[in-house]
A and B are shown apart, each in its own frame.
Chain A
Amino acid sequence: MSDAGVGNEGAESGRDDAEQLARRAVRRDRDAWGEIFEAHYQSVYTFVRYRLQGAAEAEDVAAQVFEVAYRGADRFDYRGVPIEGWLIGIARNLARDHIKKLGRRGYQEEIDDLNAPAEPDAAPSVDLRNDLEAAMHHLTEDQQTVLSLRFLLDRSVAETAVLMDRSEDAVKNLQRRALAAMQRALAGSGYGEG
């Protein structure tokens, strides 16, 4: 896991840098927020990507994460909480709200969606991505979170535990159950069990 400003000079100076950045962020320092955006946008996008339907939704929610974070900057307690953890927490809430909102969508919005231009995507892996996206929707929120952190963002068990505020043992158990659940969901898409 790497927070903006964390370099290779050692964990101590990295923590200092991260804390300095967080202090500036709390003051809504524009440059600090620029650094935070550059450092974390792609992670946030990746984190929410498979929870939502398509790239446009992921982009929208990921962008909202930074707006919400900026808005609530003065309430951010940076002591012991990595900025990435804070952003991921916001992303979880926003993705959850977004999905709830979709559940209440009306007829007009569905029509609008039908009329919206299709997203061209001819990548070879697009079928797998679509199926993974669909499979992820069968998982619990915690299962989605652990898979995103571990296998899309490549966070270690220890880092995932910090970001999810869980013990490492809990993360190990959760990742195993999440992978098994995803495999079961994918089996229905013709990927088999293995």
Chain B
Amino acid sequence: MDTERMDELAAEALATGRIPADATADEREEIERLLAGARQLRATRGAVHDEARASMPVARARFERFVAANPPGHAHAHPAPVPVKRDGLLARLFGGHALARTAAVAAGIAALAVGGVFLSQSFSGVETANALALEEGDYAQASGVVASTSGEGAARRLELKSEFGAVVVSVGSLSAESVDPASLKAGDSVVVEGTVGAGRVIAATAVVRTAVAVDLPRVVKFKELRELRDGLAGKVVTFTISKDGTHGVVLVDGGDGNRYAVKMDAGSAAELLEKLGTALGARVEIVHQEGAPRGVFVVRPVSAATPVGGGVLGPVTGVVVSREANVLLVRTDRGPVTVVIRTDTRILLGTNGLTLRGFLAGETVAGHKIAVTGRIEKATGNLIADVVTVGPKPVQMAPVPPEGDEAAPAEAILEAVA
């Protein structure tokens, strides 16, 4: 069979759907097989296009976020490195006084989400905003009302309604300290903490019930904050940290009928998380940061959130005693805690000389103060980290022990910290 002739015959048949009249029996047989294959591909074309259309709002929102973070003239059109602040945010957080393990969770209202943050005029629809709120990999603290429940055990799920829209929350793997997933029912007002996973389902590590039998919230729109006006402040109703830990987003209720989505630097995210335990319900002010990219702000707490939930969502804080691969031994005032860092754990670093690359490569963090938000694994008691904030080494502390030599030096560290 002549290859060139066969290519031409097949091309004609595929273009017209008809087998050329001059094709031989053998050629017809092969062409029929080729046409069948093309038909199979084309038969799924509509379904694939439907998939593409369905995924577009999420992808569009993601791209908008990317473009907003990398405006023309920006030196490097890729995610900015973790900013280093002159004042040393983590020094403020950790220095001078013991960290209150507040675990304040807020009576927050509202919305799951975020995202509006980067919404441009043409991307400000609720659908897009909802999609932004659930960008895969984001760590999120949010609240809403349970509209329905399904599944049992590890498959237990909630459909949560918030001002931001509806989301699905997987509650099959909650922290040991969290509410019993089986007890959650429609009408419960809850605060959730977790990571946005595949299909934009929030895999919750903690859920706290804050009220019962409340009305389902009405979906509202959020405005992206691009230009700062003086005295802008409000209450945080949603808090997220990006997958790469370079920035966060808060949704702020201005109290004057306006709601803003505010992109904040990594330092602000760390401060809110560590100082307040949870940012939800906290009153914050928004200020400009010198040299920050347009649309990125510093968000400072003005007052703590209203504590609810018994501290379930608050971080565990302490001093790193040792590290072996991805497992940290952390000494806390509750006793030693084993912290497991996973590939999706967000690492926030301050002015401590550490780099993310160094940290991930195994650089020791023994002696550093640390705050960990995550889920306590029932079987092992280990804390599976969602977010880790690494502070500076305590000033003038005892010498850091060599890795693997934990006992006595750990005590020395703790004494120095105290």
Chain A residues near B (Cβ < 8 Å): 27-30, 33-34, 37, 41-42, 45-46, 49-50, 55-56, 58-60, 62-63, 66-67, 70-71, 73, 108-109, 112, 115-117, 119, 123, 125-126, 128-129, 132, 147, 150-152, 154, 156-157, 169, 172-173, 175-176, 179-180, 182-183, 186, 191, 193-194
Q: Which of B29-75 contact A (CB under 8 A)?
A: 30, 32-34, 36-38, 40-45, 47-49, 51-53, 55-56, 58-60, 62-63, 66-67, 70-72
- Residue pair A183, B342 in contact (C-beta under 8 Å): no
Chain A residues within 8 Å of B33, by CB = 179-180, 183, 193-194
How distant is the Cα of A152 from the Cα of B63 in the complex, in angstroms? 24
Which 7 A-B pairs rank lowest in CB-CB distance, beginning with the nearest? A45-B52, A151-B41, A42-B52, A59-B55, A28-B72, A63-B59, A172-B7
When C-beta atoms are compared, the residue in chain A nearest to B39 turns out to be A151
- Residue pair B47, A175 in contact (C-beta under 8 Å): no
Chain A residues within 8 Å of B201, by CB = 117
Interface of chain B, main secondary structure: helix
- Residue pair A173, B48 in contact (C-beta under 8 Å): no
Q: Tell me whether A108 and B343 are in contact in the complex, defined as CB-CB below 8 angstroms, given that A33-B67, A55-B51, A151-B38 are known contacts.
A: yes
- Residue pair A46, B49 in contact (C-beta under 8 Å): yes
Chain A residues within 8 Å of B48, by CB = 45-46, 49-50, 129, 152
Interface 9-residue window, one of B10-18, B106-114, B229-237, B408-416: B10-18
- Residue pair A41, B51 in contact (C-beta under 8 Å): no
CB < 8 Å A-B pair total: 160
Counting contact residues on chain B (CB < 8 A from A), the size range is 35 or more
When C-beta atoms are compared, the residue in chain A nearest to B9 turns out to be A176
Q: Tell me whether A45 and B55 are in contact in the complex, defined as CB-CB below 8 angstroms, given that A28-B72, A125-B44 are known contacts.
A: yes
How distant is the Cα of A169 from the Cα of B197 in the complex, in angstroms? 45
In the complex, whether B77 has a CB less than 8 A from a CB of chain A is yes
- Residue pair B7, A42 in contact (C-beta under 8 Å): no
- Residue pair A70, B42 in contact (C-beta under 8 Å): no
How distant is the Cα of A147 from the Cα of B47 in the complex, in angstroms? 16
In the complex, whether B363 has a CB less than 8 A from a CB of chain A is no
Contacts A46-B49, A59-B59, A70-B63 supplied; 6 other A-B pairs, CB < 8 Å: A37-B63, A49-B52, A128-B40, A132-B40, A147-B41, A176-B7
In the complex, whether B406 has a CB less than 8 A from a CB of chain A is no
- Residue pair A45, B51 in contact (C-beta under 8 Å): yes
- Residue pair A109, B343 in contact (C-beta under 8 Å): yes
How distant is the Cα of A132 from the Cα of B6 in the complex, in angstroms? 24
Chain B residues within 8 Å of A129, by CB = 44, 47-48
In the complex, whether B3 has a CB less than 8 A from a CB of chain A is yes
Q: Tell me whether A37 and B36 are in contact in the complex, defined as CB-CB below 8 angstroms, given that A71-B70, A109-B343 are known contacts.
A: no
